Structure 1
Amino acid sequence: MSMMDTDRTRRREIWHRVKGYLAVAVSLALLIGGGVFVFNQVERRVTGIFTAAIAEDYEGEGEEDIEIEIPQGSSLTVIGEILVDADVVASQEAWQAAVAADDASSTVQAGTYRVRTQVPAATALDMLLDTSRLVVTRVTVPEGLTLEKQVEALTASGIDEEDFEKALDDPEELKLVGYADDSPEGFLFPDTYDFDDDTTAEELLNQMAERYGDVADDLDFKGASEDLDVSQRDIAIVASIIDREVTIPEDRAKVSRVIYNRLDEGMRLQFDSTVYYATGIYPPEQQPAGAFDATGPPESDYNTYKVDGLPAGPISAPGRAAMEAAAAPADGDWLYFVTVNFETGETRFTADPAEHERNVAEWRQWCEANGNPSGC
């Protein structure tokens, strides 16, 4: 009989002797603690101790650095199987003992980790609880950016801007929603994305394109388009305007209603935000758009002072809140709105042209009193 077989036999003997103690210990805990919580906690701890006594486990510092992937939604048992298959831990029993002994084990995240083979199970658990060992890193793309600005944000991933531009030059290869019409502007969802050393620009852009489609489906753009009697693309364009026009969150659905009301009335939208997009010149982010000198903007399909209806496409990549407002506008007859105080974001809504003129006058007074900040 080999030394390893002898060890296994000894562990089995230990287990047979102590498993009867387990029931006694847990029963005592139940009597003393008087509750299921104590029962569960003691059972977990004692099981872990006795399982550790019989488990095959490695010792030492390990052998080789490797990477392992923990898929989203993996249970601790599945994680144990992954670790055993990769020869990180010696046995599922050793892993379960380590898990039972550490309350933090339930917080292990999905992802790709740098670990070592042939380490004690407790060491392997510590490695998975150490988020600095995650190979996958993240990049955040804020809401309301143009495609150009999104690419700038994406370069924080370490992928060259030229790689993104090359992928964007072939939009048919991107997983854009059908109503994007092969134009990624406004259809790459702003969010935080995971990537690793092997992630390509196209893969990262496709994550964003697919996420947009998922959010649009979740918000039922198709049903909303039928209810509003507009296309899903129109809803996307409205959402992009909302993200650029709205100062405070509670106004999103009201601005959405103003847009649809003006479209229904055959009124030009006359939004500064669309002109800013056409010219590429924007006021500081803290300054929402005010009245714009309509004599200045260039001829453009995005100049809503000079074209009827919506601009030719989205003017930004809207976040979920703006998309939701575009799909579900508030009830109201408003045709006008103006932000009368850029510091508080107070915005006035009305259906009366005369009242709107009074609101615009109040906005101008605020601008004059505050040194005409950019945006006035």
Structure 2
Amino acid sequence: MIDELDVAFEEDAEPSGSRGSHRNRKGRGRSAIALVMTLLLFAVLGGGVYFGYTKVQDFFVAADYDGTGSDPVEVTIAKNSSLTEIGNALVKVDVVKSTKAFVEAAEAEPRSKNIQSGTYVLRRQMAAEHAVIQLLDPNTRLSRGVTIPEGKTAKQTYELLAKGTGLPVKDFEEAAKDPVALGVPDWWFKRNDGKQVSKTAEGFLFPDTYEFDPKANATQVLRTMVGRFLTVTGEMAYADEVQRNRKVSPYEALIVASLAQAEAGVPADLPKIARVAYNRAYVKDMVLQFDVTTNYWLELNGKDPKHSGNLLQKEMDDPKNPYNTEVVKGLPVGPINSPGKAALLGSMRPTNGPWLFFVAIDKKGNSAFAVTDADHQKNVQKACANGIDLCGK
């Protein structure tokens, strides 16, 4: 192409004359053709560049819908979801066109870090920006988080669940009558110490914050909590380790975890209190004398729990109480609450020590531990001096 242009320009430079005029006309014709071809070449090249730019631009610009969407659709956002995971969930039900568009819109909105887990009513084919706005609107959220703290009894848990889900307490009580149907494996209800087993859901309703499906019934809610318990204990290899290292059944270790959860004022004391329970129940064959088991029995019978110093002797010695640890040796018949992961870990790996006594010695909840009753009484006096109501008991 360039050679032809060079020839054409050279021919244009010939001197005038009849021959030159002919050659000049011929040269002008070739020049015109060359010019057209050059312009055509530039047009093709320019079109290619534009086409390529458009494709590259499409690659970097996220696909997105326009407007506020069409048909309503429910979307469940899982707990601790990242923006990408939320975007994926929205794309799956056609709320937004691409995860990238949602992530970009969310990152442009500082409040997007406040998007909570739960079930929302959104619309199909929404612009990503509108989807972010709707997820931040509490009116679009159907479900509400229900938090069950560590150490809550089953009865207290049902009350919290009823408040959070709108389902009646009696529905949870009825569903809990068969813990195996809720997913608790039957082997959990085995003991090595030959004592009676309380086959209830107590201890298996793992404390956590849950986002329940708004359509879930009481059985489904409790199954979710039992499933969480099994997941956590499975990840800890809890059952295997307590049988191998503690030489007790998983159920007995769970009872110890619940006792420690109820007695400990601070998390650091959980493994030490678990050690006291093991030492008394298995090493020394003693009564535990854990006042929390008396309070648990009072609650089961519709009575309010009491401070240790206010418990009556007849309440602590009640022979009808299967959870009695004041006059009955060994562990009670079952857990007395839902222990959290730290308490489970404490019962699985208790601190090494010969302690047989403990008492809360300050208002922060810290406990002092002792091997002998004489040292224990010194700790009791220290607790009294710190304003803990124990003296006179």
Quote the offset at 1:164 in angstroms.
Answer: 1.0
* RMSD of equivalent CA atoms: 3.5
Q: Which of residues 59, 62, 68 is equivalent to 2:66?
A: 59
8 Å Cα contact 2:83/2:106 also seen in 1 = no
- Three-state SS of the structure 2 residue aligned to 1:173 is coil
Offset at 1:238? 0.3
Q: Determine if the alignment matches structure 1 residue 358 to structure 2 residue 366.
A: no
Q: 1:293 to 1:60 in 2, by over 3 A?
A: closer
Distance 1:202 1:229, change over 3 A: same
Distance 1:265 1:73, change over 3 A: closer
Secondary structure in structure 2 of the residue aligned to 1:251: helix
2:181 aligned with 1:173 = yes
Matched, 1:225 2:243: yes
Name 1:241's counterpart in structure 2.
259
Which of 159, 164, 178 matches 2:172?
Answer: 164
* SS of alignment partner, residue 137 of structure 1: coil
Rate the CA distance shift 1:338–1:282 in 2: closer, same or farther, 3 A: farther
Distance 2:50 2:79 in 1: 37
Name the structure 1 match of 2:142. Answer: 135
Q: Is the 8 A contact 1:47 1:100 kept in 2?
A: no
1:195 aligns with 2:215: no
Q: Which has the larger radius of gyration?
A: 2
Q: 1:59 to 1:363 in 2, by over 3 A?
A: closer
The residue that corresponds to 1:276 in the other structure is 295
**Residue aligning to 1:103:** 107
> How do 1:64-103 and structure 2 match up within 5 A?
64-69=71-76, 86-89=93-96, 91-92=97-98, 96-97=100-101, 99-100=103-104, 103=107
* Aligned residue among 332, 335, 342 for 1:314: 335
How far is 1:292 from its partner?
6.1
Is the 8 Å Cα contact of residues 225 and 327 (structure 1) preserved in structure 2? no
Q: Deviations over 1:184-214 (max 9, x none)?
A: 0121111111113211111110111111122
Output the TM-score relative to the length of structure 1.
0.74
Query: What number of residue pairs does the alignment pair up?
Result: 326
> What per-residue deviation string (whole Å, max 9, x for no partner) do you get for residues 48-107 of structure 1?
4xx36xx5x543443322223456798878866765664544x54xx6356446525896
> Structure 1 stretches of 5 or more lacking a match?
1-11, 23-45
Q: Distance in 2 between matches of 1:212 and 1:375?
A: 41
How much does 1:113 deviate?
2.8
Q: Tell me which amino acid in the other structure corresponds to 1:259.
A: A
Q: Distance in 1 between matches of 2:136 and 2:156?
A: 35
- Residue 269 of structure 1: how far off its partner (Å): 0.7
Paired residue type of 1:184: A
Checking the alignment, whether the CA contact within 8 Å between 2:380 and 2:390 is kept in structure 1 is: no
Give the distance between the partners of 1:293 and 1:146, measured in 2 at CA.
22
Partners of 1:141 and 1:374 in 2: CA distance: 34
Following the alignment from structure 2 to structure 1, what is the Cα–Cα distance between the partners of residues 285 and 77?
55
8 Å CA contact 1:186, 1:318 repeated in 2: yes
In the TM superposition, what is the alpha-carbon distance from 1:225 to its structure 2 partner?
2.3
1:110-148 deviations in Å (ceiling 9; x for gaps): 654322234334333443465653433211112112211
Q: Secondary structure, in 3 states, of the residue corresponding to 1:115?
A: strand
Unaligned runs of at least 5 residues, structure 2 = 1-47, 190-198
Identity level (%): 37
TM-score relative to the length of structure 2: 0.71
Tell me the secondary structure at the aligned position of residue 297 of structure 2. Answer: helix
Amino acid at match of 1:241: L
Task: State the alpha-carbon separation in 1 of the partners of residues 348 and 162 from structure 2.
Answer: 31
Q: Distance between the aligned counterparts of 1:261 and 1:375, measured in 2?
A: 27
Shift of residue 163, structure 1, vs aligned partner: 1.4
Please list the CA deviations of residues 315-365 of structure 1 after superposition, one character each: whole Å capped at 9, or x if unmatched.
Answer: 111111111111110011111112233x13242211122212222344445
